[in-house]
Amino acid sequence: MGADALLAELEQEAGATRRVLERVPGRHLAWRPNPKAMALGQLAWHVATIPGNIAGLARLDGIDAATVNFEPRMPAGVEELLPAFDAALEDARAFFRGFSSEAAATPWRLSSHGKEVFTIPKAALIRSLMLNHWYHHRGQLVVYFRCLDVPVPAVYGRSADEKPFG
């Protein structure tokens, strides 16, 4: 899959992600459905910043996971989410402007304490972590909404709370 197709998918999904982020209830940022789960605010921050964070990783040849803090930060308020999202999208768009077929085939390596975990082409990193990972966490976020009785926006077609097609 080329950069143009990946960028088109990013743009298509950005609208649904924006609708979800617009609904994050500020009064529940610290709420979590389970002690092992991220707080709502952390999860929303993660969803808002994934495209830019993964673009940053993809600019590298790899990382050692032992040197990275993967814990999403807690935003001070919901007003931080959309600007962070816009910045992350712009960073991802800039990444794709220079993402050639040659760059897509370049290996990217994840290690932990110097030991290889996996090596994949950068195109697979984008598909897996920028896009699929993003959708996974956006889905978690709408489940949090349902638990908190926050109206769930339509993402792919209608939701029980929104019927865009009548």
Torsion of CA 158, 22, 25, 156, to 10 degrees: 20
Residue 162 lies in a domain: no
Residue 58 lies in a domain: yes
pLDDT at 43: 98
Return the top range by mean pLDDT from 40-44, 66-70, 154-158: 40-44
Residue 32 lies in a domain: yes
Which residue type sits at 75?
P
Residue 75 lies in a domain: yes
What is the Cα–Cα distance from 55 to 117, expressed in whole angstroms? Answer: 20
Residue 154 lies in a domain: no
Q: What percent of the chain has pLDDT over 90?
A: 91
Q: What is the CATH number of the domain that holds 82?
A: 1.20.120.450
What domain range is 82 assigned to? 3-147
Domains held by the chain: number: 1
Residue 13 lies in a domain: yes
pLDDT tens digits, residue range 62-93?
999 999 999 999 999 999 999 999 999 999 99
By CB neighbour count within 10 A (0-12 exposed, 13-18 middle, 19+ buried), where does 114 fall? exposed
Residue 42 lies in a domain: yes
Residue 163 lies in a domain: no
Query: Which of 23-27, 44-48, 98-102, 145-149 has the weakest average pLDDT?
Result: 98-102
Residue 137 phi, psi (nearest 5): -75, -30
Q: Region 44-69: what's the mean pLDDT?
A: 97
* Res. 166: pLDDT tops 80: no
pLDDT tens digits, residue range 113-126?
999 999 999 999 99
